Structures are given as structure tokens and as C-alpha cells.
Amino acid sequence: MKRAHLIAWAELALMVRSRVALIGVIALLLLSTIAAATSYTHMAQERLGRVANQTETDALFEAQPARHPHRMVHYGSYVYRPIGTLAGFDPGIDPFSGTTLYLEGHRQNSATISAVRENSSLMRFGQLTPAFVLQTLAPLLLIFLGFSMITRERTRGSLRLLLSSGVTAGDLILGKTLALGSVGLVALAPAWLTLILMAIVMPSEAGAAAMIGLGYGLYVLIWVVGIIAVSALARSGQAALLILIGIWCFMAVLAPRGAAELASRLEPLESRAATDLTIRAELRQLGDSHNPDDPFFAAFKARTLAHYGVSKVEDLPFNFRGAVSAEGEALTSRLFDKHFAELATTQRTQSNIVAYLSIFSPALAVRRVSMAGAGTDLETHLRFLQQSEAHRFAMVQYLNGLHRDRLSLADDAARSKDPQAEQRTRIGANNWAKAPDFVFKPTSAADRLSAAITPILLLALWLVAMVILAGWSGRVLAGRAL
């Protein structure tokens, strides 16, 4: 152990003397600091913007004048996907998915306004976030600093000298790992610091922040140990470098795109327009509110009349038109839910395919830990869509309830032709403030932790494999040197 320390110190001293290594480390530190600062500020602005939009939208809703409640159904409302504190660390899917959802009666809209459609095409090259720096760039710096750590000893002939002076191959591997590990620690420092600061600002996120920190720690360690192992096994520094750049290119550049492409081909999604039209076709099968003889609505009418023991809708104790609206909305809503469930299942399957493929690339595994922990993964977006739809339904049915209970059928039927009746179908503005509010329930810390357990275990497995590889490389090294 003492020898390993000496080797590590010697290696670090060499790195400090070599300007190139120092510049590399400083460049990475600078880059991750810029990334952390800009990403944090940007997401904080985004968060404030959405909160402001939500407040403004809710205030506008409550400020609407006395109106026919069905007008409010069409006026509708907007919800804006909230952003968690840790999203500044890894914005994940946030820029790639719609953030604004228009909620109105009879229709389910798509989430609109996404950064990716408001940015230049440069955005698709990658975003400068702490997550990107750690996932993609940090390993490359470690490769450059570590690839020749052991090959160099061999080509210079110092390896045999070391081994004959009582240093074991294990000492050498451990020492070099400690040296490269310290560089890894430096590379991690700004990210860990950012996470700690975020956890202080928002203590409830501390668990998730710790998990993200652990994930990246494991990830960097996998690279550190792997790089040393390859350096010990490779015949020359050149070979080690080429192999490592090849592995990096596969894991950090090729695998994410390849896995996404594969998932989208294995589980194709229907276009939104096709789904909309399918829903409309199914709706016509179930019940057509435009057809006075429609069996669905005729049955609803018969059932309602029988329930109240009357023979015509005019005798019902409420406005039958409002009841029909509510029944129609319930019908369409069931279809929306059914198709949304199908969409969510397909998208989850797609993401699971990528998750399975992360066996081949720790970069994919750490991305899952990072996005799940930061609450910027697919699950958060699906939750937003699902809760928004539930809110839409609750809001519309609240208004349909007013339509049914507060309006007279005669006025309601005459309002398009008779101005007095039209005035009487307007109900007080005080009713709008009583409509249900949208409160987004984000994925709980416990759920996010459990979503990250599998990828964390996968990373741990990778680390174990790398340690075994490094141990074996030590024996090979000793064998070759003799």
C-alpha cells in the first residue's frame, strides 16, 4: 500500500510538471464550472418563467366575466410543466419535450413549446450541462492522461526495474489507479459541489442529489480502473490510446444514438394525427352527440328520465343539456385515457429497451441515474401529461356541473336566438375561482431512488468487472515483464 502511494505521488508529480496534463485538467474544470453555472441559471430562469405563466393563467381564468359555463369549457386553461431543483444539473428531456399544455373541453392537445424547436440546429450537437461534461468529456480527458501510465513504464524499461526492486504489479496498478483516480476526483469536484449546493437549497432533494453523485462517482471510477487495465494490457501506448478512444466513441457517442434508434424501430409510435383520428372514429362508434337518434345518447336520456321518474327532459330537476355535456366529456375522456395509456406503454417500452442496452455502455446507465434523480426523465413527462389530463377532466366536469345545475334548459336552448335568454345563461364570475387548481405531483424522491437502483447496480457491476480486469492485467503485466 505504501509503495502504491509512492507510485501515485510520482505519477501526479509528473502530471503537474507536464503542462499538457495540467492544461487538460484546468480546461475540464473550467468547462464544468461554466456548464454548471449556465445550466443552473438557465433552468432557474425557465422555472421562474413557468411559475409566472401558471400564476398569470390562473389569474386570467378567475378574472373571466360572468359567462355561460360552456364558454369557459372552451376558454380552457394552460398548464406548464414545473421544473425540479436538480434539473439545473441535468435538464434531461426538458428541452426536448413540450412544456405547455392547453386544456379545453372535448379535446386533448399535445404539449407544445419546446426549446429544441426554438433553438438553432446546434442544439442537437449536445448541450453544455454538468451531465454532458461528466458523461462525455471527462472520460476522454481521463483516457488522454491515463493511457500511457503503464505502457510508458514498459517502453522505457523502468517496469522491469520497478518489479525487481520489490514493487509488485498489483502495487503498480493500484498506484496508477490512485493517481488517475485523483484526476477523476478533480473532474468530479465541480459537479459534486453543485449537487451539494442544490441539496442545501432544497434539502428534500438531498437523497436524489446523493444518488446522482454516487452514480457519477461510480461512472468515473469505472473509466479510471478500465483505462489503467487497458494501459497494462496493451502492447504499446499507441495501441492503448486507440483502443480506449474506440471504446469511448462506442460508449459515449455511438451507443446513446444507436440505442435510441433501435428502440424507436422496435417499438414504433403512431403519429399524433393518426391517434387523434382513431379516437374520433372510435367516438363515432360509441356515441355521436351530433346525431339526435344516436343510441348511446338516446340510452343515456332514457336512463336519466327513468331515474327521475319523468317523461320528458323539460321535467328533469336540472338542465339536461349540461348533463349531456358531462356524459359526452366522460366518454371522450375514457378514450383519451385509453390511448394515452397505449402511448405511455410504448414509450416506456422504448425507454426500457435503452435501459437493457445500457448493459453495454455505462454512459447509458449513468444517464438513467442522472435523469431519474433529477426528475427530468420520460417518467416525469408522462406524469405531467397524465396529471394534466386528470386536471382537464376535473375542470371541465366542474364547469359541466355548473351548466347542468345552474342553468334552465329553456334559456339554454334559446340562447343563440334570444338575447334575454343569453343573458340569463351567464353565471357569476365568482364560480371560476372555485374551479379545481392544477397541482403537479412530481415523482417522489422514493420513486426516483428506486428507478435509479437498477442502473446504479449496473454501474457497480461494471466497476467490479473493471476491477477484475485490472487484477488480471496485473498478472499479465508481471508475466510479460519476467
Instruction: Please list, in sequence order, all residues whose beta carbon lies within 8 angstroms of the beta carbon of residue 227, skipping any fewer than 6 positions away.
Output: 142, 143, 146, 147, 149, 180, 244
Pairing of strands 77-80, 107-108: unpaired
Among 110, 158, 204, 450, binds another protein (CB under 8 A): 110
Q: Long-range pairs for 237-244 at CB < 8 Å and ≥24 separation? A: 237/147, 237/148, 237/151, 237/152, 237/155, 239/151, 240/147, 240/148, 240/151, 241/143, 241/147, 241/148, 244/143, 244/147
Nearer to another protein, 109 or 304 (CB): 109
Angle at 474 between CA 472 and CA 479, to 5 degrees: 100
Interaction between residue 31 and another protein (CB under 8 A): yes
Nearer to another protein, 154 or 163 (CB): 154
Give the shortest CB-456-to-another protein separation in angstroms: 18
CA distance 64 to 428: 9
CA distance 361 to 61: 49
Of 117-125, 168-176, 317-325, 402-410: span binding another protein (CB under 8 A): 117-125
Closest by CA position to 130, among listed 181, 199, 85, 193: 193
Binders of another protein in range 40-69 (CB under 8 A) = 49, 53, 56-57, 60, 64-65, 67
Among 75, 336, 360, 440, binds another protein (CB under 8 A): 75
Binders of another protein in range 282-311 (CB under 8 A) = 284, 288, 290-291
29 burial type by CB count under 10 A (0-12 exposed, 13-18 middle, 19+ buried) = middle
Angle at 340 between CA 338 and CA 345, to 5 degrees: 100
Interaction between residue 241 and another protein (CB under 8 A): yes
Binders of another protein in range 146-175 (CB under 8 A) = 147-148
DSSP structure class, residue 249: I
Cβ-based neighbour number of residue 435 at 10 Å: 19
Give the shortest CB-94-to-another protein separation in angstroms: 8
Among 111, 159, 163, 407, binds another protein (CB under 8 A): 111
368 burial type by CB count under 10 A (0-12 exposed, 13-18 middle, 19+ buried) = buried
Nearer to another protein, 210 or 414 (CB): 414
Give the shortest CB-64-to-another protein separation in angstroms: 8
Instruction: Please list, in sequence order, all residues whose beta carbon lies within 8 angstroms of the beta carbon of residue 109, skipping any fewer than 6 positions away.
Output: 101, 102, 103
Among 32, 85, 100, 231, binds another protein (CB under 8 A): 100
Of 5-13, 195-203, 266-274, 295-303: span binding another protein (CB under 8 A): 266-274
Give the shortest CB-273-to-another protein separation in angstroms: 4
Give the shortest CB-140-to-another protein separation in angstroms: 6
Give the shortest CB-356-to-another protein separation in angstroms: 14
Q: Which three cell numbers stand for residue 415?
A: 340562447
Nearer to another protein, 30 or 464 (CB): 30
Give the shortest CB-295-to-another protein separation in angstroms: 16
Nearer to another protein, 117 or 475 (CB): 117
Instruction: Please list, in sequence order, all residues whose beta carbon lies within 8 angstroms of the beta carbon of residue 191, skipping any fewer than 6 positions away.
Output: 32, 36, 89, 130, 133, 134, 213, 216
Give the shortest CB-166-to-another protein separation in angstroms: 29
Binders of another protein in range 380-439 (CB under 8 A) = 381, 415-419, 422
Give the shortest CB-234-to-another protein separation in angstroms: 11
Interaction between residue 78 and another protein (CB under 8 A): yes
Interaction between residue 21 and another protein (CB under 8 A): no
In total, the chain counts a number of residues equal to 482
Interaction between residue 194 and another protein (CB under 8 A): no
Binders of another protein in range 332-361 (CB under 8 A) = 343, 347, 350-351, 354
CA distance 117 to 124: 11
Q: What DSSP string runs through 92-103?
A: TTGGGS--EEEE
Binders of another protein in range 120-149 (CB under 8 A) = 120-128, 132, 136-137, 140, 144, 147-148
Residues forming a β-bridge with 332: none
Nearer to another protein, 164 or 345 (CB): 345
Among 6, 158, 268, 306, binds another protein (CB under 8 A): 268
CA distance 79 to 410: 35
Of 113-121, 168-176, 189-197, 434-442: span binding another protein (CB under 8 A): 113-121
DSSP structure class, residue 202: S
Nearer to another protein, 4 or 111 (CB): 111
Among 14, 48, 201, 274, binds another protein (CB under 8 A): 274
